[in-house]
Amino acid sequence: MALSELNDRLRFVLVRTSHSGNIGSAARAIRTMGFDRLTLVAPHRFPDPEATALAAGADDVLGNASVQDDLVAGLAGTTFALGLSARRRGVNIPELDPREGVAQALAAARRGEQVALVFGNERTGLENDELSRCHAMIRIPSVDDFSSLNLSQAVQVVAYELRTALLADEAQAPVADIDPDEVPADAEQLERFFTHLEQTLDDIEFHKGRSPVTIMLKLRKLFLRARPELRELRILHGILADAQRMADIAHKKD
Ligand code: SAH
C-alpha cells in the first residue's frame, strides 16, 4: 500500500503530554518515518517554543496537529486503536509486541479502517479508562526493572516498525474499496453505545448497589473484541431502548 494512502489512515495520539519538548520530538520521530498525523489530547502546553525547537523542522506535523480535550474526541473517526503501555494495568486486553501490533494496524488500514496509536502521559502512562478504549495494547519489550522509555522514543520505535513493515510489503497490495456498512463502528459511536448500555443497566437495576465500573470494563472488552458495525449497534440500541421502556412501565406499576 502506498505510504500516502496509509498515512491518511494512521494517527499518532499523545494523551496528556506534560513536556512540550516531547511533543516536538514525537513530531520529528514520525516525520522521519514518513508519517505526519499527530493528535494531541489535553496537552499541558501547546503550541510551545520548546515543542517547535525539538521538532527540528517537522513544523508541518506540529502545525497540522489536531488538539482535542479528551481521548474520545481524539479517537473520533477511528475504528481500531492500539494503546502503548509499558505495564499491563488493570485492563485485560490483548498484549502485542510492536511488530505484531504494527502488522494488525496495517491490516486494519488496508481494510479501509482509521487506526490510532495511543501514547500516555510521561509520568502516569495510559490510565485504565484510556486503555479500555483500545482494542489491544503494544508493549515494547524493555527490561522489567526499568521498563519505561521516553515518550518520543516509544513513538519512534512504533513509527520505525511501521515503516519497516511497509518497506517490506513487496506485494504493495492495492487499497480495498470500502463499503461503509462493513467498517466497524468508530470510537464515538461505540462511546454512545456504552453510555446507553450503562444507563440501561441502571434503569433495569442490574447493578444492585455494586459499582458499575468493573462490569462496564468487562462489557467494553467484549464489544471491542466483537468490533460491531454501525448497523449492528443500531439493533443493540433498539434493544436497550425497549428494555428502558419496559423498566419505565414496571416502575410506574410499583
Ligand atoms: N510511568 C509510565 C510510563 C510513561 S512513559 C508507565 O509506567 O506507564 C510515556 C509513554 O510512552 C507511555 O504511556 C507509553 O505510551 C510509552 N511507553 C514507554 N515505555 C513503553 C514500553 N516499554 N512499551 C510501550 N510503550 C511505552
Question: Rounded to an integer, what distance in angstroms lies between the CA atom of residue 185 and that of residue 190?
Answer: 6
Percent of all residues in the chain with a pLDDT value above 70, rounded to a whole number: 94
**pLDDT of 170 over the 70 cut:** no
Q: Determine whether the shortest distance from the Cβ of 111 to ligand 1 is under 6 A.
A: no
The set of cell numbers assigned to 145 is 526493572
pLDDT tier for residue 173 given thresholds of 50, 70 and 90: low
pLDDT per position as a tens digit, 38-83: 999 999 999 999 999 999 999 999 999 999 999 999 999 999 999 9
Average of per-residue pLDDT across 135-160? 97
Q: What are phi and psi of 245, to 5 degrees?
A: -65, -45
Is the confidence at residue 175, as pLDDT, over 70? Answer: no
What pLDDT sits at residue 6?
Answer: 84
Is the peptide bond between 47 and the residue preceding it cis, with omega within 30 degrees of 0? yes
Residue nearest to atom 21 of ligand 1 (CA): 86
Q: Worst-scoring range by mean pLDDT, 14-28, 109-123, 167-181, 205-219?
A: 167-181
In this prediction, residue 182 carries a pLDDT of 78
Angle at 68 between CA 216 and CA 158, to 5 degrees: 80
Instruction: Summarize the chain as % helix, strand, coil (round to 5).
Output: 50, 15, 35
- With a 6 Å cutoff on the Cβ, whether 142 touches ligand 1 is yes
Distance 96 CA to ligand 1 centre (A): 14
Please count the other Cβ atoms lying within 10 Å of the Cβ belonging to residue 111.
17
Q: Is 80 in the pocket of ligand 1 (CB under 6 A)?
A: no
**Cβ-contact 71, 116 below 8 angstroms:** no
For the CA of 89, the nearest atom of ligand 1: 8
Digit-coded pLDDT (tens) for 182-241: 789 999 999 999 999 999 999 999 999 898 999 999 999 999 999 999 999 999 999 999
Tell me which DSSP letter residue 18 carries. -
Considering only CA atoms, which residue is closest to atom 8 of ligand 1? 125
Q: Is the CB of 215 under 6 A from ligand 1?
A: no
**Percent with pLDDT over 90 in the chain:** 84
Q: Please give the pLDDT value at position 166.
A: 92
